[in-house]
Amino acid sequence: MANNDRIRVRAGGLVLVLASLAVTACGGELKENILPTLEDVINSVTTLNGSTRGSLVAGDRPAASGGPASSISGVNTAINGGSLPITVTSSTAFDRVVISAEGLDNYYTLDLPSAATSVDLILGVSTEAMPTSGLNLRYGVAVSSQLGAFATQSVRILRVATGDVQVSVSWDTPSDVDLHVTDPNGDEVYFANTTVASGGTLDLDSNPACSIDGVNNENIVWPTGSAPNGTYTVGLDYWSDCGVPETNWVVTIQSKGQAPQVFSGTFTGASGGGVDIPDLATFTR
């Protein structure tokens, strides 16, 4: 196993807000003239440790009113049921973040416990989010009542399988991070064993052996009705750093009937042998 001194781990919980897409009960056809709202795509916003949660506000986002400018960095590709880690930065301290999306109604506002020039956020992506190559998220920061101009981030959402159990990982550099999940029968799903007898499947594998595809997400799922009851163990392997000095990652666990669990951390330095974090998290269904 690699030296754990190079691994930092944080954990936080996200409460899933199920938002219905505008579909009919029969056939799944879109209703005419109805577009998804922001919460149909992004169903939660929290700080990285989960201690501060954004509130959904109905209506159009507020207009800029002379507040500080901001910039955005982080992951630009997400999967339905996963997480989108984002860092919002400004040269001026701010105490509120406003998040919206072009073409979608409603917005989130998140009040910080104290003013800061940078904040790490986790955006929860709905399990029902549909694929898109150009979701333009808009971020504005405010101090007191003065809201700055909005910065834009174009996000690609990939559609993956969901079910009774869905475990995913997202990371922010062109490196090879591998997700491992062991089911209650002791069978492990990962890149070298993509399907197990209980139905667990790795249906998205990114950057294998440093063949960089820019997706930077992996997904393991047990379809509805197939996930065995018992305890699951989630592991994470920094298979290769691919020459980058540091990789930030976020793991999201979705188990039907339970609130999502989110874990985040950082791999630094060169990757080592063995599974770096074999027991990142356990959960029982």
Cα 1 to its chain centre, rounded Å, is 27
- pLDDT for residue 11: 60
At position 207, the amino acid (one-letter code) is N
Q: How far apart are CA 280 and CA 95, in angstroms?
A: 32
82-100 pLDDT, tens digit each: 999 999 999 999 999 999 9
Token pair for 80: 């339905």
Q: How far apart are CA 149 and CA 134, in angstroms?
A: 20
Q: In the chain, list all ranges with CATH 2.60.60.
A: 4-10+160-284
Ranges in the chain, pLDDT < 50: 1-5, 13-33
- CATH class entry, domain 35-158: mainly beta
- pLDDT for residue 12: 56
- Cα 28 to Cα 24, 80, 103, 113, distances in angstroms: 5, 17, 22, 42
User: Which distant-in-sequence residues (6+ apart) come within 8 Å of 48 by Cβ?
Assistant: 10, 12, 85, 120, 121, 122, 264
Beta pairing, strands 151-158 & 77-79: parallel
Q: Which residue has the tokens 């940078």?
A: 118
Token pair for 70: 């901001």
- pLDDT for residue 37: 96
- pLDDT for residue 35: 65
- Return the sign of the alpha-carbon dihedral for residues 16, 50, 137, 99: positive
- pLDDT for residue 2: 43
Q: Which residue has the tokens 């029982």?
A: 284
For the whole model, what pTM was predicted? 0.88
Per CATH, is 4-10+160-284 categorized as 3.30.70? no
- pLDDT for residue 29: 39
Burial of 248 (0-12, 13-18, 19+ CB in 10 A): buried
What's the half-sphere exposure (Cβ side, CA atoms, 13 Å) at 90? 24
Q: In the chain, list all ranges with CATH 2.60.40.10.
A: 35-158
H helices of the chain, in order, are 38-41
3-state secondary structure of 232: strand
Beta bridge pairs of residue 99? 108, 139
120-166 pLDDT, tens digit each: 999 999 999 999 999 999 999 999 889 999 999 999 999 999 999 99
- pLDDT for residue 273: 77
- pLDDT for residue 274: 82
